[in-house]
A and B are shown apart, each in its own frame.
Chain A
C-alpha cells in the first residue's frame, strides 16, 4: 500500500480556452461554443492527469472562473468591489460583494463534477470553496432586509448541499479550500476572525456524519496567484493549532515552499488530532523548476519523521492556476510536477516499506 497522493485542484487552462473565454466576453463566440471548449479542456486535462499515474485526479478546474468565486460567478446580486485581497507582488484581487438577498449558489461544484465523471477512469476529487471565504461576501454596511445571520444561514445550507451532492454523485473526496486562514491573521491579528472562520466551517462539517467526514478534507495555503501569495509572511504557528480544530479528516497542507519545513512538521505533529490524515505539500507550484522524484522522495521521508505513514499523504502546495486568467505557469510544467509527485511518493513508499 503506497502513500496516498492527490492534487489540489487547478491546472492552467489551454490557450484555446483562455482565448475562447475572452472571445465569449467580447461577443465573438456563443455560449454553446464556449461550453464545448470547456468540455474539451476538461477531457484533455483528465486524460493528461491520468497519464501522470496520479491515483486520484481532479478536473483541473477548467470550467471554473476561479477557485473562490465559481459558485457565485454570474449572480446578479453580487458586485465586484468587495474586500480587496492584497498579494505580496502588489497585485490586488477584489473579492465580490453581496448587494441583496436572498443568497443562493449559481453553479455549485457538483455541476463541474458531473461533467468530469464522464471522462474520468480513476477516483475524482472535487474542491469546493469554504463557507468562511464566502462569508466575506457580506458587506460591513448591512443589506437592508437581509441580515448577516440570514446570509450565513443560507450560505451554510448551500455548502452543505454542495458537499452532500458531490459525495452522493461519486466524488472520491471533497476538499474544502480554506486559504484564508493565514490571511485572516493578517487582517485581524487578534485571531478573532480566524476563530470565527473555524467555527463557521465547523457548522458546515458538523452536519455530516463521521463516516461522511472521512471523505471530506481541507486545503490550506497562503493563497497563490500568479507568482505570489497573499499571506505567506504570516507564521504557520498562528494558524495550525486552530486549523486542526476543523472537523475534517484529511488536511492538504502547503509545505514545500515553507522556508523551515521541519518547524512546520513539528507543529503539525503537535496539533493534528488522532484520525486526521495529513497530505503534505511536496511540490511548489510557484517555482517554475520541476522537482525531481528524488527531491519529492526526500521531502516525504522528512515528513515521515514527524507524521506516521498511516496518517501521511502527499499533495501539491496549491493549485497550479486558481484563477482562470492565470497564465504564469504552463500546463506542461503542471503535469510534469504532478508526475514527479507521484513518482517521488512511490519511491518514498518503497523506502518506508509500504510497497
Chain B
C-alpha cells in the first residue's frame, strides 16, 4: 500500500491538489467542445497536479490484437506509448497488465511496484527506464450504466514515480474521475447528434413549408385559370355578340364604301369615312379578341408595371355585351395620371372581371331601381392605388361581409364559392388588400388597394 505522508501539512497539500484537480476537471467537462479536447485536457490536468508522471487515455479496438489505442496523453517520456503495446485481449501477452484487466473486469487495477509485479513484465524495462514506479488503470464506465452499454470502452491510465502511490482513497478519487470523463464524452457525443438533429429538423420543416406553399400556389393558379375559363364559357354568347357587332359593321361599311366608289362620280369623302369606320371597328374587334386571349393565357407569375385604368377599360370592353343584356349602366371615374402598379396582368384582369360580374349578378333581381355599376380608380392617403367596384344590387348580409372571402363560402344557388377567395389571394399575392363594405344607399362596394411603392419611397 501507499507510503504514508509524514506530516499533516503533506496530507493537507495532497488534498488541496486533488481539490484543485477536481475543480479543473469539472471546468473542462463543461467547457470542452470536442471529445479530443476533453480527453487531452484531463490528461494534462492530472499530470499538472504533480502526483503523476504520465497520464493517458486508451480506447479499445476490435482489431486482431485487441489493441488499447492511446487517444490522449500527457506527461514525461511520451515515447513510452509509442514503444509499448497494450491489449485488452485475455489471450494476448500484453493483455494481462492493469489496462487489459481493467477493461475485462470493469474495475480499477493497479500495480504497487512495477519492479516486482509479474503482471507488468512486458513493459517493465521501458517503464523503469522512464522512472515510473507504480501505475493504475481505471475503466471508463458511465455512471449508473452497465459496462459496455455505450460505445465507449477504454481506460484512464496513470503512472507515478512513487511506489504504492495508489491507496484506497486515491483509487476512489480516480474511479470517480473516470466515471465523469465517460459521462462527459457521452454527453459530448449526444450534443453532436442533438445539434445537427435540431438544425436538420428545422431545415426539413422549412423545406416542407416551402413545398406546401408552392403546391398551394400552383393549385390556386390552376383553380384561378379554371375559374376564368368557366367565366368566359358562361359569357360565350355575349362575347360572340361583342365580336359580331364590329364585324357586321365592317361588312356594312365595306358595302357602303363600294357603293360610294361605284357611283359614276365616286364620292371619295364618303368612301373614306366608311373606310375609317371599318378601321375603327377592326380595332374594336381586335381589342375584344386581345382581351379574350389575355384571359385564356396561363398565369405568367411575372409582374410588370401596369396601368390599372387600362386594365379596367379592357375588361369593360369584354363584358360590354353582358352589361347591355342585363341593362346595367356603367359609370367610370378613372383618375388621370394614376400611378402604375407592379402586377401580373392576367391575374389582375381576373380580379376586375370577377368583381364586375359579381356586381352584375347582384343586380340581376333588381327591378325597382336602376342597375348601376360604378368603377372608380384613385390614389388613397397611403399613395397606393385604390379601385372600387360598386353596385346597386341587393347587398351583402352584414354577418357575411367577411366570410364571403372564405373558400367555398357562397350565397348563390350556383357556384363553388371560390371566386372572391381567389381574388383575395391574388391581391394579397400583390401585397395588396381586398375587402367589401355596404353601399351608401343600396348594394355593395368592393375595395382593392394595390401598392405603388411610392409610400415607401417617400418615407
Chain A interfacial positions (CB closer than 8 Å to B): 82-84, 86, 88, 90, 92, 94, 135-136, 138-141, 148-149, 151-153, 156, 185-190, 192-193, 195-197, 199-200, 203, 206, 233
Stretch binding the partner chain, chosen from B20-28, B130-138, B200-208: B200-208
- Having A148-B196, A149-B206, A188-B190, one finds 20 other A-B pairs with CB under 8 Å, namely A135-B196, A135-B200, A136-B192, A140-B195, A141-B33, A148-B195, A149-B203, A152-B203, A188-B189, A189-B151, A190-B190, A192-B193, A192-B197, A196-B199, A199-B200, A199-B204, A203-B204, A206-B207, A233-B61, A233-B62
21 chain-A/chain-B pairs, Cβ below 8 angstroms: A90-B71, A94-B36, A135-B196, A140-B34, A140-B188, A148-B198, A148-B199, A149-B199, A152-B200, A153-B203, A153-B206, A185-B151, A189-B151, A192-B193, A192-B194, A192-B197, A193-B192, A196-B193, A199-B200, A200-B203, A203-B204
Bound complex: CA A285 to CA B59 (Å): 26
**B207 with A86: CB separation less than 8 A:** no
Contact present for A84 and B35 (CB under 8 Å): yes
- How far is B196's CA from A187's CA once the two chains are assembled, in angstroms? 13
A196-B200 contact given A83-B34, A88-B63, A92-B36, CB 8 Å threshold: yes
**A196 x B196 contact (CB < 8 A):** yes
Task: Let me know if B124 is at the binding interface, CB within 8 A.
Answer: no
CB distance from A134 to the nearest CB of B (A): 11
Query: Cα distance A185–B151 when bound, in Å?
Result: 9
Q: Mark B168-209, 1 if CB is under 8 A from A, else 0.
A: 000000000000000000001111111111111011101100
Task: Write the chain B residue with the least CB distance to A86.
Answer: B71
Contacts of B424 in A (CB 8 A): none
Residues of B near A188 (CB, < 8 A) are 189-190, 192-193
Beta-carbon contacts under 8 Å, B361-377 to A: none
Roughly how many angstroms separate A200 CA and B201 CA in the complex, as a whole number? 9
Q: Nearest chain A CB to B186's CB is how many angstroms away?
A: 9
Which parts of B65-116 form the interface with A (CB within 8 Å)?
69-71
Q: Can you name the residue of chain B whose Cβ is closest to the Cβ of A90?
A: B69
Tell me the nearest residue of chain B to A91, going by C-beta: B69
Contact A84–B204 (Cβ < 8 Å): no
* Bound Cα distance from A266 to B189, whole angstroms: 31
Q: List B contacts of A186 (CB < 8 A).
A: 151
Partner among B33, B70, B197, B207 whose Cβ is within 8 Å of the Cβ of A140: B33
A186 to B62, CA, bound (A): 13
With a cutoff of 8 Å between Cβ atoms, the chain B residues found around residue A90 in the complex are 69-71
| Closest partner residue, chain A, to B202 (CB atom) | A149
Tell me, in angstroms, the Cα distance from A197 to B207 when the chains sit together.
Answer: 16
CA–CA, A199 and B33, complex, Å: 24
> Is the CB–CB distance between A203 and B200 below 8 Å?
yes
* Closest chain B CB from A189 CB (angstroms): 4
How far is the CB of A149 from the nearest CB of chain B, in Å?
5
- Chain B CB within 10 A, most for which of A82, A151, A152, A188: A188
